[in-house]
C-alpha cells in the first residue's frame, strides 16, 4: 500500500469504529454499474460537512488492492449486491487529495508539476522498469504500465478529493487554474487506462467558455444531485433512526438541520450537524465549527441589483427564483445576483428547489449563520436592528399589546424592507416573518398552513419544550385587522391545531396602503364547544 497508489482501508476502518456511522455504501453499487462504461467519469460536488471525504475513504477501501476489506463491508448495504465480490479489492486506485498537493507545492505556479512528480515517483517505485527512465509525465507512465500489465491488473481507478480547491484557494490565478484543468484532461480524457474517475469537491466543474477540458464528466451537484441524491447527506429515515436511538426529538432535528430539498420531495439533512447533535445530546448550530460567517458576509455584501432584497426576503422565510445555469462554477466570475445565490447553494447556505427553480434558507442552523453575518455589518445595520427588536415584538404580541406590535412592524417595513415590492399579502408575510425572526427559538413558523376551510397565512406552533401559546396570524392588505380575526374564526383555521392542547392567540394584521401604517388586533382563542 502506498500514499497515493492503493492507500489502504484504515481511514474507512476508523469511520466504522466511530460511535455513529450511517451506511452510504449503496453509492458503490452505482460506481460498479458505471465502471468501464461511457458514464465512468463522475464529479460529485457538495458543501463542507456533507461527507465528501467519508465517501472517498470508503471507495478507496472497497476497490484498492493490497488489503482485505471484506470484514469491513460485512453487513453494509453493498454486501448484498451481486457485484460486491466482483470488484472488492481488485483494482488499482490512485487517490489524489488536491488540497494536500497545493500545500506541499509551496508556490501556486509549481503546484501541477509538484503533483505530477510526487505521484509519478510512487508509480515508478511500484512498477519499476515498466515506466521508462525518461518519462516525466504521469499520463505517459500510466499508459505504459497499462499496456504491459493490462491482462494482469487492468487499468486504474482515480479518486480525486477536494478537486476544486484550486478555484477556491487560488481564486484569481487563472493561469494555474487552466494548467490544472489541462492536466486533468490529459490524465483522464480518452485514456483507456481509466476504469473509473470519481471527483468530489464543493464546486461543479469550472466553465471556461469554449474551453471544454472536462466535458467527459457526469455531474451531481447541490442544484442537480440526480441519482446520487441519497448519498449527499442523511435521508429523513436515517435521521429518524438516529433520533430514536439517541432519544432525541425528530421534529426538532428536522427544524435545525433539514431543508435541502431534492427531486421527488426527497429531504436531505446536514450529516455532520446531525452526528454532532446526537453525540452531544443537544440541538444547536454546529456549522461555525468548520465555517465562519465572515465568508457568508463577503457574498451578501456584493453589489448586485436585487441581491440584498432577495436575502432579506429569505431571512424572512421567503424564497427567490434563480437561474443557476449561468454560474461559472468558481468564486470570482460573478455577473449577477443569480450567480451569488447559486454559489451559496453549492456552499450549503441556501437550498434549491429544482422543480420551482427557487432558493431559500433551509433550516434554523443556517438562519443563525445569516443572522451572524448580518450583525456587525455596516451595510446591514437596519436589518440587524430589526432582528434585534424582534424578541421584544414577540413579548408584546404575547401580552396583547396591539399598538406596540403595529408600531414595531411599521419600523421593520419603513427602515429596511420597503426596498421590497411591498404591494400584497405575500410581501406583507415576508415583513411579518422578518419582524418575528427571534420567535423561531420557541416556535415552528409555518407559512400557508393548511387548516379548516383554507390556509392560515402564518402559524407559530410552539416547540415541544416551550410553554408559550400558539399564534394563528392572518394578514390583510388595505382592509382591517378585525376582519382578519373574523376570517380566522369563519374559516376555522384553529381546527388544524386540534392536537395542540395549549393556549392559542389569534393575531390579525392589516396594512393601510394610504396611511402606510399597520394595525393589529389580538384575541385569545376560546373554543365554542
What is the set of domains in the chain, with CATH numbers? 10-220 (3.40.50), 226-374 (no CATH), 378-524 (3.40.1350)
Mean pLDDT over residues 206-227, rounded? Answer: 80
- Look at residue 520 and give its three-state secondary structure: strand
Q: Give the pLDDT confidence score for residue 266 in this predicted structure.
A: 83
Q: Is the dihedral of CA 269, 273, 279, 282 positive or negative?
A: negative
**pLDDT above 60 for 273:** yes
* Length of the chain measured in residues: 529
| Residue 121 pLDDT class (50, 70, 90 cuts) | very high
Q: Give the pLDDT confidence score for residue 419 in this predicted structure.
A: 45
For the chain, what is the mean pLDDT?
88
**pLDDT above 90 for 477:** no
Is 183 or 387 the better-scoring residue by pLDDT? 183
| Residue 528 pLDDT class (50, 70, 90 cuts) | low
Percent residues over pLDDT 70 in the chain: 93
Percent residues over pLDDT 90 in the chain: 57
Q: Give the pLDDT confidence score for residue 494 in this predicted structure.
A: 86
**pLDDT above 70 for 425:** no
Q: Smallest Cα–Cα separation from 78: which of 65, 87, 66?
A: 87
Q: Smallest Cα–Cα separation from 144: which of 157, 156, 159?
A: 156
CA dihedral 21, 22, 27, 29 (to 10 degrees): 90
Least confidently predicted of 40-54, 192-206, 457-471: 457-471
Beta-bridged to residue 373, according to DSSP, are none
Tens digit of pLDDT for each residue in 354-378? Answer: 889 999 999 999 999 999 999 878 8
Q: What is the pTM of this model?
A: 0.89
**pLDDT above 50 for 235:** yes
Q: Give the pLDDT confidence score for residue 424 in this predicted structure.
A: 57
Question: Across the beta sheet with 504-512, what order do the strands follow?
Answer: 443-451, 454-462, 470-477, 504-512, 517-524
Q: Smallest Cα–Cα separation from 65: which of 90, 98, 35, 31?
A: 90
Instruction: Give CA–CA dist 429/314, Å, rounded.
Output: 12
| Residue 241 pLDDT class (50, 70, 90 cuts) | very high
Amino acid at each position: 500500500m502506498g500514499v497515493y497508489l492503493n492507500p489502504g482501508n484504515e481511514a474507512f476502518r476508523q469511520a466504522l469504529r466511530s460511535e455513529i456511522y450511517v451506511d452510504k455504501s449503496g453509492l458503490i453499487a452505482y460506481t460498479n454499474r458505471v465502471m468501464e462504461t461511457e458514464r465512468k467519469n463522475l464529479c460529485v460536488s457538495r458543501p463542507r460537512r456533507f461527507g465528501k471525504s467519508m465517501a472517498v475513504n470508503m471507495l478507496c477501501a472497497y476497490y484498492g488492492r493490497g488489503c482485505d476489506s471484506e470484514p469491513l463491508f460485512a453487513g453494509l448495504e453493498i454486501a448484498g449486491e451481486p457485484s460486491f465480490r466482483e470488484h472488492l479489492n481488485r483494482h488499482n486506485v490512485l487517490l489524489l487529495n488536491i488540497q494536500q498537493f497545493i500545500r506541499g507545492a509551496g508556490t501556486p505556479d509549481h503546484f501541477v508539476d509538484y503533483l505530477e512528480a510526487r505521484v509519478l515517483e510512487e508509480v515508478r517505485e511500484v512498477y519499476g522498469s515498466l515506466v521508462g527512465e525518461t518519462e516525466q509525465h504521469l499520463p505517459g507512465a500510466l499508459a505504459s504500465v497499462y499496456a504491459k500489465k493490462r491482462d494482469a491488473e487492468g487499468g486504474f481507478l482515480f479518486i480525486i478529493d477536494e478537486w476544486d480547491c484550486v478555484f477556491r484557494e487560488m481564486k484569481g490565478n487563472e493561469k494555474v487554474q487552466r494548467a490544472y484543468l489541462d492536466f486533468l484532461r490529459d490524465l483522464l480524457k480518452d485514456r483507456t487506462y481509466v476504469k473509473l474517475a470519481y471527483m468530489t469537491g464543493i464546486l461543479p466543474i469550472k466553465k471556461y467558455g469554449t474551453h471544454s477540458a472536462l466535458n467527459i464528466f457526469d455531474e451531481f451537484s447541490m442544484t442537480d444531485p440526480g441519482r446520487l441524491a441519497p448519498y449527499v447527506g442523511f435521508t429523513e429515515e436515517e435521521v429518524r433512526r438516529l433520533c430514536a436511538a439517541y432519544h432525541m426529538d425528530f421534529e426538532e432535528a428536522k427544524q435545525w438541520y433539514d431543508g435541502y430539498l431534492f427531486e421527488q420531495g426527497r429531504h436531505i439533512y446536514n450529516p455532520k450537524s446531525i452526528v454532532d447533535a446526537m453525540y452531544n445530546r443537544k440541538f444547536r448550530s454546529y456549522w461555525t465549527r468548520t465555517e465562519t460567517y465572515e465568508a457568508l458576509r463577503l457574498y451578501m455584501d456584493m453589489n448586485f441589483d436585487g441581491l440584498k432584497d432577495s436575502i432579506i426576503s429569505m431571512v424572512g422565510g421567503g424564497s427567490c427564483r434563480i437561474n443557476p445555469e449561468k454560474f461559472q462554477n468558481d468564486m470570482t466570475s460573478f455577473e449577477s445576483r443569480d450567480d451569488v445565490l447559486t454559489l451559496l447553494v453549492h456552499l450549503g447556505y441556501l437550498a434549491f428547489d429544482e422543480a420551482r427553480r427557487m432558493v431559500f434558507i433551509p433550516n434554523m442552523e443556517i438562519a443563525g449563520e445569516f443572522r451572524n453575518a448580518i450583525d456587525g455589518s455596516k451595510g446591514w445595520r437596519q436589518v440587524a436592528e430589526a432582528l434585534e427588536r424582534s424578541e421584544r415584538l414577540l413579548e408584546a404580541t404575547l401580552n396583547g399589546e396591539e399598538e406596540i406590535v403595529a408600531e414595531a412592524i411599521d419600523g421593520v417595513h419603513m427602515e429596511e424592507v420597503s426596498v421590497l415590492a411591498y404591494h400584497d399579502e405575500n410581501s406583507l408575510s415576508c415583513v411579518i416573518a422578518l419582524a418575528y425572526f427571534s420567535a423561531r427559538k420557541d416556535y415552528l413558523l409555518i407559512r400557508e398552513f393548511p387548516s379548516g376551510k383554507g390556509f392560515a397565512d402564518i402559524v407559530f406552533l410552539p416547540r415541544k419544550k416551550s410553554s408559550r401559546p400558539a399564534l394563528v396570524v392572518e394578514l390583510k392588505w388595505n382592509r382591517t385587522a378585525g376582519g382578519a380575526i373574523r376570517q380566522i374564526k369563519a374559516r376555522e383555521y384553529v381546527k388544524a391545531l386540534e392536537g395542540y392542547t395549549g393556549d392559542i392567540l389569534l393575531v390579525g394584521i392589516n396594512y393601510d396602503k394610504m396611511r402606510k401604517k399597520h394595525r393589529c388586533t389580538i384575541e385569545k382563542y376560546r373554543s365554542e364547544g
